[in-house]
């Protein structure tokens, strides 16, 4: 993050300004113009956008393996082959069952046609004719079942025995070796034998953000992240989605945020840990002051020992808000004011009236009214009460040194 540097100075004034016996020095900083960002920090883990776990569709012994870790694959490529020796024997047995069932069915068809001819001449009863039709239907069903079982075996031999890739991608994990026995995916004892990633050139970070910060993160927002494994490099991403299901650990509520990341050079690997910064708001070309200047107030404060702002007819008591002089209330009694627009015509957010302190010509602290806006926790955006030029470059007090 590039920021304009603040110049820290020490200003010495005589001891009478605070009523202390020793001299008082001040750490000070110059109000400068620069850029400011409000960020939310988190950590996350890199993962492929989509992974597929491949399970076997039949049980058997692994005969051959055609791919290994990191191999590029296309949809339909054979990943592994299972042994089919026993299946081929079962196919021969089932083929015999089909032949037998077909012969019985054909014989019953002839028998039933004869029964129909006899029934037309009233030589057999209606019961005998219906019994013949039932026997024919049973033989037809047995033939269909035998043919279906044969198709199952042939499907296992010609298709299920070959474990193929369902996607184009890369092999992330291989959990089998030649000679291993795998279990049909319909069994509770089955496990994935390959893990495939669809595309490592498009990845995502799974990050967790606390409930206090989640509202400031918007879909499509910019993200910066770094990795300890790749020092000196900075990467960017985009907030893809905020998942609504909370996670509660040690009474801390957090939400899963998915960040999409381009990985064209494939330097980002699955499982890497990232330090993430979500960029909530950004201000460019604004006046900046350290937060310490907004917190400071003279150690011995009175109307006689602290002068009013130069050019103002109001005394110090008029400038300071109740409660220690840290907030200046604008007309109307509200706690904040709307800064309107800047010189470029942009709409600015509501800004809070605050007091900072400078050293006047006599060496005494003098109150200056400003309006404070966005803060990154270290510095705060400010605007002058009238014109920014009135305070740009002004040296303001950060703290006293007794």
The pLDDT profile of the chain, 402 residues, written as one tens digit per residue, is 444 444 344 333 333 344 444 567 889 999 999 999 889 999 999 999 989 999 999 999 999 999 999 999 999 999 999 999 999 999 999 999 999 999 999 999 999 999 999 999 999 999 999 999 999 999 999 999 999 999 999 999 999 999 999 999 999 999 999 999 999 998 888 889 999 998 899 999 999 999 999 999 999 999 999 999 999 999 999 999 999 999 999 999 999 999 999 999 999 999 999 999 999 888 899 999 999 999 998 886 654 444 444 444 333 444 443 333 333 333 333 333 343 444 434 444 568 899 999 988 888 889 999 999 998 889 999 998 777 777 899 999 999 887
Given the structure tokens 């305070």, which residue do they identify? 391
The dihedral through the CA atoms of 239, 243, 246, 250 has a sign that is: negative
| Strand partners for 256 | 208
What are the CA-CA distances from residue 340 to residues 286, 298, 308, 333 (Å)? Answer: 14, 31, 27, 18
- Which helix (H) or strand (E) segment is 257 a member of? strand 252-262
CA distance 22 to 34: 37
Q: Determine, yes or no, domain membership for 185.
A: yes
Cβ pair 54, 199 in contact under 8 A: no
Count of beta carbons in the 10 Å neighbourhood of residue 160: 19
Q: Residue 302: which region, alpha, beta or left (left: phi > 0; alpha: psi -120 to 50)?
A: beta
CA distance 150 to 92: 9
Q: Determine, yes or no, domain membership for 217.
A: no
What total number of domains does the chain contain?
A: 1
Q: Determine, yes or no, domain membership for 317.
A: no
Q: Determine, yes or no, domain membership for 402.
A: no
Count of beta carbons in the 10 Å neighbourhood of residue 50: 13
Helix/strand/coil for 57: coil
Q: Determine, yes or no, domain membership for 31.
A: no
Cβ pair 349, 375 in contact under 8 A: no
What pTM did the predictor assign?
0.66
Q: Determine, yes or no, domain membership for 147.
A: yes
Q: Which two tokens stand for residue 139?
A: 């033989």
CATH number for 73: 2.40.50.100
Q: Determine, yes or no, domain membership for 272.
A: no
Q: Determine, yes or no, domain membership for 206.
A: no
CA angle at residue 224 from 221 to 227, to 5 degrees?
145
Cβ pair 196, 54 in contact under 8 A: yes
Determine the structural domain holding residue 115 and report its residue range: 54-196
């Amino acid at each position: 993050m590039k920021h304009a540097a603040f110049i820290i100075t020490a200003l010495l004034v005589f001891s009478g300004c605070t009523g202390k016996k020793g001299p008082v020095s001040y750490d000070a900083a110059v109000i400068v113009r620069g850029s400011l960002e409000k960020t939310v920090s988190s950590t996350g883990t890199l993962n492929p956008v989509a992974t597929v776990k491949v399970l076997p569709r039949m049980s058997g012994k692994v005969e051959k393996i055609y791919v290994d870790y990191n191999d590029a694959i296309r949809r339909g490529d054979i990943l592994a082959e299972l042994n089919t020796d026993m299946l081929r024997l079962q196919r021969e047995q089932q083929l015999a069952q089909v032949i037998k069932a077909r012969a019985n069915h054909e014989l019953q068809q002839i028998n039933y046609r004869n029964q129909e001819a006899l029934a037309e001449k009233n030589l057999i009863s209606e019961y005998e004719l219906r019994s013949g039709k039932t026997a024919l239907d049973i033989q037809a069903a047995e033939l269909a079942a035998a043919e279906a079982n044969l198709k199952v075996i042939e499907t296992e031999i010609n298709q299920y025995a070959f474990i193929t890739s369902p996607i184009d991608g890369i092999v992330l994990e291989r959990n089998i070796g030649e000679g291993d026995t795998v279990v049909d995916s319909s069994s509770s004892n089955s496990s994935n034998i390959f893990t495939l990633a669809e595309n490592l050139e498009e990845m995502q970070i799974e990050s967790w953000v606390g409930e206090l910060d989640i509202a400031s993160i918007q879909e499509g927002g910019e993200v910066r992240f770094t990795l300890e494994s790749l020092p000196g490099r900075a990467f960017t991403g985009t907030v893809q989605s905020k998942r609504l299901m909370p996670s509660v650990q040690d009474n801390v509520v957090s939400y899963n945020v998915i960040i999409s990341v381009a990985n064209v050079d494939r330097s980002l690997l699955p499982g890497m840990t990232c330090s993430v910064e979500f960029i909530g708001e950004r201000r460019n070309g604004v006046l900046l002051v350290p937060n310490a200047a907004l917190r400071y107030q003279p150690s011995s404060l009175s109307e006689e020992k602290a002068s009013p702002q130069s050019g103002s007819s109001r005394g110090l008591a008029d400038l300071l808000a109740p409660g220690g002089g840290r907030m200046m209330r604008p007309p109307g009694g509200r706690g904040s004011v709307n800064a309107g627009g800047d010189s470029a015509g942009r709409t600015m957010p509501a800004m809070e009236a605050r007091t900072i302190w400078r050293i006047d010509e006599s060496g005494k602290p003098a109150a200056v009214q400003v309006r404070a806006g966005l803060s990154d926790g270290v510095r705060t955006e400010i605007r002058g009460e009238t014109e920014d030029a009135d305070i740009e470059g002004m040296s303001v007090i950060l703290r006293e040194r007794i």
